[in-house]
Structure 1
Amino acid sequence: MGVAVERKPFPLPASDITDAYSLEVSAKDIAALSAAAPRILPASTISVPYLPREDNDARLAAVLAIRRLGFEPMPHFSARRIASLAEFESFVRRAAAEAGVERCFVIAGDPSTPMGPFSDSASLIDTGVFERSGIKLIGVGGHPEGHPVMNKAEQWDVLERKCHSIGQRGMAPLIVTQFAFDAEIVLAWLKALRERGIDHPVRVGVPGPANIAVLARYAALCGVSACASMWSKYGVSIGKLFGTAGPDLFVDRLASGLTEAHGKVSLHFFPFGGIAQSVKWIEQYRSRA
């Protein structure tokens, strides 16, 4: 009888992590996306956030433009900002019919009091609107560095239930994390995710290169920790908080730490410093491989 050999997971090639990246682009930034389009990988997923200053006409125009550019639009839906079921269903149906939208992303949203009947992202999934409209994939949020109002146990429970509900409705779940600054925390979170039997693809949120003060402001708005020790791990000296920072060190550490055991992982870029700057950084990073 042969001796069993332990097969240790091996690191994935660094280039793999940028092979299927996605970008977050608001409706007002479609012109910048159009200018950068020739340099973006064909059929890339482009997420359109649900911003309170933009209406459904602007969001629909954005997803139409994204489709015409040859990319895969993924509109966001902020549950607590949606005034009615009719409004929600109308937009999803139009986005699917007119722009060929097949993937959507759901969040609860910032308002403490819902503007309509939806209190959280699960309530949007439970309407059945997505599958009836032909949507094939639903993205949900992941929070490696913590959630502002839920503890860890609650976060895992909510994530598992949403992924299960999406799968039961015949759609594919995708987990997109909030942007992070500490690769070790993300790797530990991915390990815990897989140990819980959640094997769906994950897109790890990454801030594109941007002014450090801008990054700090967005971190504070989104509830992401950005203390001195975390800035250091991201590659920023606490004494140099006025320049520009890119995600080189974060992505290097994430890529080198990923193994087959972490499952399917790619990157989702938040271009706080501008789309052109993020695309240029991606090009340079990929050229290193």
Structure 2
Amino acid sequence: MTMDSISDGNRTLPELVDPVSAANALLSQSSLEATPKQIVDLGATAPEWMHQGMRVYVPFLPNAAFENAFSACETLLGWGMKPVPHLPARSVPDAETLRAWLASLQRIGVKEVLLIAGDTEKALGPYQDTLALLASGILTEYGLTGMGVAGHPEGHPKADNTALKEALMFKRDYAKAHGLELWVVTQFSFDDESLIKWLDEHQTILSSIPVYLGLAGPTRLKNLLAYAAQCGVSTSAKALRKNMNAARLLRPWTPDALFRTLCEYKATHPSTSLQGIHLFPFGGLKQSNQWLSSAHLLVSS
């Protein structure tokens, strides 16, 4: 099936797509994260298993210098990737430093950033959250063409759903007013129901905003549950652990089942904002890239 329109009385509806086409669409818009150290460790030449042209998010790690992201972004640009450094509002000490960071990214050629509040309990400077960062107006001065913002299918420890929706609407309107591309990247989850419920509940707000759902890449399940505890996705982690025994915890985790469910959802919801997946490579960059290369085989028409 195609995405051509079909008639339904007085309405024109998009035709459903098949799961294989949905899978290919999601994979063609996939992205992943890579720390500055992971990128440095790959050497000067892009590995053959890296997917050309994909977005690669460069996180700002606790107790690290933001400047570490600069060389990583420069390397990724040289490899034909689209680097997207995290910009954590609470970790910005002052406006002067923010301007210096953005000026450096502009010189390198970075056009996109991911705005996040950050894990710092107390703001180091004047920006308590991403809304304050946007309100400063500084982000519009350094040639950025787009920005990603975070989505939280399992909720947020410091904000209720109403506040999160209001913040997302503010960012949507801000991006439109300033001619910036906007998209949402979500935290990873193990629970397909949480992901789909979040998509459905935000459909009106997200009608013009692409969404990239976070999935945990292949790794050992025991290690993954430890990451989940650190990343605030304990709800679905508890559900995943419920029927686990010690032997099962030693087996590898893959996002196969979740990916198949998302393909089915996209195939039956052609108007969804779901455009791609964002992979957290807890088991390593190579393993995650290889999974992306073969994930289309998980879905049959």
> Does 2:259 correspond to 1:212?
no
Rounded to whole Å, the distance in 1 between the matches of 2:187 and 2:132 is 21
Could you tell me how far 1:36 is from its partner in structure 2? 6.2
AA at the equivalent of 1:263: S
Give the number of equivalent residue pairs: 283
Relative to the length of structure 2, the TM-score reads: 0.87
User: Residues 93 and 194 from structure 1, CA distance in 2 versus in 1: closer, same or farther, beyond 3 angstroms?
Assistant: same
Counterpart of 1:62 in structure 2 is: 72
User: Which residue does 2:39 correspond to in 1?
Assistant: 30
Partners of 2:17 and 2:160 in 1: CA distance:
31
Q: What stretches of structure 2 of length at least 5 have no aligned partner?
A: 1-7
Query: 1:94: which partner in 2?
Result: 104
- Choose the corresponding residue for 1:114, options 117, 123, 126: 123
Q: Are the counterparts in 2 of residues 36 and 275 from structure 1 also a CA contact under 8 Å? A: no
For residue 291 of structure 2, give the secondary structure of its aligned residue in structure 1.
helix
Could you tell me which residue of structure 1 aligns to residue 259 of structure 2? 251
1:156 counterpart SS class: helix
Q: Counterpart amino acid of 2:51? A: L
Q: Which residue of 2 aligns with 1:182?
A: 191
Counterpart contact for 2:89–2:127, Cα < 8 Å: yes
In structure 2, the residue corresponding to 1:38 is in which secondary structure? coil
Structure 1 position 227, deviation (Å): 4.2
Change (3 A) 1:170 1:7: closer
Structure 1: how far apart are the matches of 2:214 and 2:173? 22
Check 1:85–1:231 CA distance in 2 against 1; reply closer, same or farther (3 A cut). same
Give the Cα–Cα distance (whole angstroms) in 1 for the partners of residues 166 and 142 of structure 2: 27
Q: Distance in 2 between matches of 1:229 and 1:52?
A: 28
Displacement of 1:275 after TM fit? 0.3
Instruction: Work out whether residues 181 and 250 of structure 1, in 8 Å CA contact, stay in contact via their aligned partners in 2.
Output: yes
Q: Residue 261 of structure 1 aligns to a residue in which SS?
A: coil
SS of structure 1 residue aligned to 2:52: coil
Cα gap change, 1:64 to 1:196, in 2 (>3 Å): closer
Q: Which residue of 2 aligns with 1:19?
A: 28
RMSD: 2.2
Taking a change above 3 Å as real, the CA distance of residues 37 and 202 of structure 1, as seen in their structure-2 partners, is: farther
8 Å CA contact retained: 1:27, 1:54:
no
Instruction: List per-residue Cα deviations over 1:23-61 (Å, max 9, x = no partner).
Output: 101111103555763222211111101112321331111
What is the alpha-carbon distance in structure 1 between the residues aligned to residue 11 and residue 166 of structure 2? 36
> Which secondary structure does the structure 1 equivalent of 2:86 belong to?
strand
- 1:139 deviates by 0.7
- Partners of 2:169 and 2:217 lie apart in 1 by 29
C-alpha contact 2:207 2:273 (8 A) present in aligned 1: no
Match runs of 1:1-289 below 5 Å: 3-4=9-10, 7=13, 10-11=16-17, 13=21, 14-33=23-42, 37-98=47-108, 100-196=109-205, 198-224=207-233, 225-230=235-240, 238-239=244-245, 240-258=248-266, 259-287=269-297
The normalised TM-score by structure 1 is 0.90
Residues 1:8 and 1:230: Cα distance change in structure 2 (over 3 Å):
farther
- Structure 1 unaligned spans of 5+: none
1:66 aligned partner, one-letter code: L
Deviates more, 1:237-246 or 1:199-208: 237-246
CA distance in 1, matches of 2:259, 2:42: 23
Shift of 1:3: 4.5
Would you say the 8 A contact 1:193–1:199 is kept in 2? no
Alpha-carbon spacing, 1:271–1:227, altered in 2? closer, same or farther (3 Å):
closer
For the residue of structure 2 that corresponds to 1:191, the secondary structure is helix
- AA aligned opposite 1:73: P
Identity of matched residues, %: 27
Equivalent pair of 1:9/1:261 in contact (CA under 8 Å): no
